[in-house]
Amino acid sequence: MTAAIRIESVWKTYNPGSPRQVDALRDVTLEIEEGTIVALGGPSGSGKSTALSLIGLLTRPSKGKVFLGTKEVSGLSEVFRTRIRRDTIGFIFQAQYLIPQLTSTENVALPLLCTDISQSEAESLARERLISVGMDHRLDFRAAELSGGELQRVSIARALMNNPRILIADEPSSSIDEALTKDLLSTLRRMVKEEGLTVVVASHDPMVLKWADIRHLLHDGQVVDTIKEQQ
Q: How confident is the model at residue 231 (pLDDT cuts 50, 70, 90)?
A: low
Q: Check: CB of residue 113 under 8 Å from CB of residue 189.
A: no
pLDDT for 166 beyond 90? yes
Phi then psi dihedrals of residue 159, to 5 deg: -65, -25
> Is the confidence at residue 168, as pLDDT, over 80?
yes
Beta bridge partners of 222: 219
CA-CA distances (angstroms) from residue 21 to 12, 14, 42, 78?
Answer: 10, 6, 21, 25
CA 30 to chain CA centroid, Å, is 16
Decide: helix, strand or coil at residue 56. coil
Q: What is the pLDDT of residues 10-54, one digit of tens each?
A: 999 999 989 999 999 999 999 999 999 999 999 989 999 999 999
Write out the H or E segment, with its range, that includes residue 65: strand 63-68
Does the pLDDT value for residue 115 go beyond 90? no
Q: pLDDT digits over 180-214, tens only?
A: 888 888 888 988 888 889 999 999 999 999 999 99
CATH number for 3-103+165-228: choose from 3.20.20.100, 3.40.50.300, 1.10.357.10, 1.10.3210.10.
3.40.50.300
Predicted confidence at residue 183, as pLDDT, reads: 84
Residue 174 pLDDT more than 90?
A: no
